[in-house]
Chains A and B, each alone.
Chain A
Amino acid sequence: MSLKIGVPSKGRLMEKTFDWFGARGVVMARSGSDREYAGAVEGIAGVELVLLSAGEIPRELAAGRIHLGVTGSDLVRDKLADWEAQVVELAGLGFGHADLIIAVPVAWIDVDTVDDLDAAAAAFRRAHGFRLRIATKYHRLVREFLTEQGVADYQLVDSQGATEGTVKNLTAEAIADITSSGETLRANHLKILSDGLVHASQATLFAARGAEWDADTRTTLAVLAAQLGVVAEV
């Protein structure tokens, strides 16, 4: 049985992943035409390349349909309940950096920390009769963060895109979103809470605990791990 490794199927994330493995002597390439999602691995025997959307890789890992997968650490933490029981983090790949942050309007001169947000949420609920809304698509990560910080009187509202616009459109009072530069935040008159970093994400190599680990795939994993210079215990 070959060891299946899922990597993002397009864009910079795919290119950077190929570069990272290539620099360690594992050469990945898409085969066939540009539009065909098939790939090949050279430099090591017994590894099968599976090209997938980065957003689907967490699910495929959890289901055990791939042994290894490269995707953003934010996606694994947000999409998988009890993620550490389902996957093992083998290595951060050092690219695809993005921070999941909480941001509020710049005009909120009284709010600088999560603590302030909590107090503002209490007053907001009293004044408006509903809980302060935070727009995000990272529900699990944000809720776990706010629960751990002991924040009350807020609600999460789903926003799958253009999240920074929700405050201006009056569908949310604050947002929790990925930011790599902060320019979109500034353009929408939002500022980041000084202690509002929910998660610092990067492209990460994961192993699936629930995949079928037979003698072949274990041997291949050991060889691959040695070549990549990572510790792999599944």
Chain B
Amino acid sequence: MTINRAAIRAEAEALFTAFKAAGAQAVEADTLLPAETLLDLYGEDIRARAYVTSDPLRGEMMLRPDFTVPVVQAHMNGGAEPARYCYIGEVYRKQDHLGPRASEYLQVGFELFDRVAPEAADAELFALFHGLLAPLGLRPATGDIGILMAAVNGLTTTDRRKAALLRHIWRPARFRKLLDRFSGRAAVPQARADMLARLGSDTPDALIAAAGPMTGLRSEDEIAARVAGLIEDAETPALKAPEAALLYDLLTLQAPARAALSHLRGITFMMPAIEPAVDRFATRLDALERHGINPSDLPFAASHGRTSMEYYDGFVFSFHGAGDGPAVATGGRYDALTAVLGQGRSIPAVGGIIRPALVAAVREGLV
């Protein structure tokens, strides 16, 4: 697929103009970003995906892998509230497989910071994207990671187990393995059983002393704390079968948004912890309806967006062309990220990006 850069640039400019017309203030972002912030947020995955370079004075830097982080940082350093920002520019992503995926491409994005009515903000953003992309006949997909997180938080089990599940929400295979173990569907692995037997045979201090000299930064106290945690976990009863069944059901829930809401309303009495999240879902659907989007035929999947970047924690969406290629547009809510970047302060935020090269490709009938 080759489309000339001028055509892609023209698509990008048109989208950018539309974002400004929708009330967003245009912002600029550096191309070279401090690697440390991004690595701390995203972990090693970002190192595999972003170009890392070094600056003689500022140390390790990354070629901008996305705009969200610099835009959020700029807002946290003195933006007004509520705020709407838009941006246009290149992002850089290493591709680890030979193929048509670009390693340098234009993104046009919109970010909305609003603490008064987050669901209305979700709907406003989605409706904006939906309207701009409507002529292309794309397939939308939506989800809500907040419902899943609420369900995990509501489980009748230890905080330790809840934290372990929440930490792996964005790694579905790992999450599933943990859930299988906590619900008793998978046996305790032999290695863990052997270790528990060993740990039960003496005090942690004695066992550490017998194992050999201490090396490294991780202290005896840290080791002993995890030993205590393992023993507590071994004594924790399995999740009750109906509770586990509801969570498995939720993971695979896939239906038009309105029907998904009815289903969730139907199970809320068994899982009261999800009620506030389901209420927010309902509020969002009503807001979408006011924007002229029919929730009765808007696809929804509770697990949508779980394999994307590890920061979406509420509403998520994407728009796809006919093939299996990357999404033409993606976005979502990332309230927790603003807390991490805001050093104590936070603000509910939702944003999304469109890839003009893919818009042009769809328009040309190439995707």
Residue from the list B43, B216, B230 in contact with A153, Cβ < 8 A? B43
Q: Given the complex, which residues of A lie within 8 Å of B98, measured CB to CB?
A: 81-82, 85-86
| B: interface residue count bin | 35 or more
**How far is the CB of B219 from the nearest CB of chain A, in Å?**
8
Q: Could you tell me if A107 and B213 are in contact, using CB atoms closer than 8 angstroms?
A: yes
List the count of A-B residue pairs having beta carbons below 8 Å apart.
Answer: 113
Tell which of A35-43, A187-195, A215-223 binds the partner. A187-195
Q: List 6 A-B contacts (CB under 8 A).
A: A107-B213, A150-B168, A150-B173, A150-B174, A153-B43, A170-B216
Residues of chain B with a CB closer than 8 A to A128's CB = 217
Chain B residues 319 to 338 lying within 8 A of chain A, measured CB to CB, are none
By a CB distance below 8 angstroms, the chain B residues around A156 are 44, 47
The 7 closest A-B pairs by CB, nearest first: A150-B174, A106-B212, A150-B171, A167-B216, A110-B226, A82-B97, A107-B214
**Quick check: A131 and B222 within 8 Å, CB to CB?**
no
Does A226 have its Cβ within 8 Å of any Cβ on chain B?
no
Residues of A within 8 A of B97 (CB): 81-82, 85
Q: Does B104 touch A at the CB level, under 8 Å?
A: no
Contact B43 A155 (CB under 8 A): yes
State whether the Cβ of B256 lies closer than 8 Å to any Cβ in chain A: no
Known: A82-B97, A153-B43, A154-B43. A167 touches B222 (CB 8 A): no
- CB-CB < 8 A to A124: which residues of B? 218, 222
A143 touches B44 (CB 8 A): yes
Known contacts A82-B98, A107-B223, A150-B173; A113/B216 CB under 8 A: no
Residues of chain A within 8 A of B194, CB atoms compared: 112
From B173, which residue of chain A is reached at the shortest CB distance? A150
Quick check: is B263 within 8 A (CB to CB) of the other chain? no
Assess whether B39 is in contact with A173, with CB atoms less than 8 Å apart. Answer: no
| Chain A count of residues within 8 A CB distance of the other chain | 45
Instruction: Tell me the complex Cα distance, A174–B151, Å.
Output: 35
Known pairs A82-B97, A127-B222, A152-B168; A109 contacts B191 (CB<8 A): no
A139–B39 Cα distance when bound, in Å, is: 15
A120 at the binding interface (Cβ < 8 Å):
yes
Q: Which one of A85, A86, A110, A143 has the greatest number of beta carbons of chain B within 10 Å?
A: A110
Known: A112-B191, A113-B191, A155-B39. 5 other contacts (CB 8 A): A81-B98, A106-B211, A110-B199, A115-B189, A154-B43
B218 touches A173 (CB 8 A): yes
**Residues of chain A contacted by B217 (CB below 8 angstroms):** 128, 170, 173
Give the nearest-CB partner of A170 in chain B.
B217
Which residue in chain A gives the minimum CB-CB distance to B36? Answer: A130
- Interface residue B215 (Cβ < 8 Å from any Cβ of A): yes
Residue interface bits A92-112, CB-to-B below 8 A is 1, else 0:
000000000000011111101
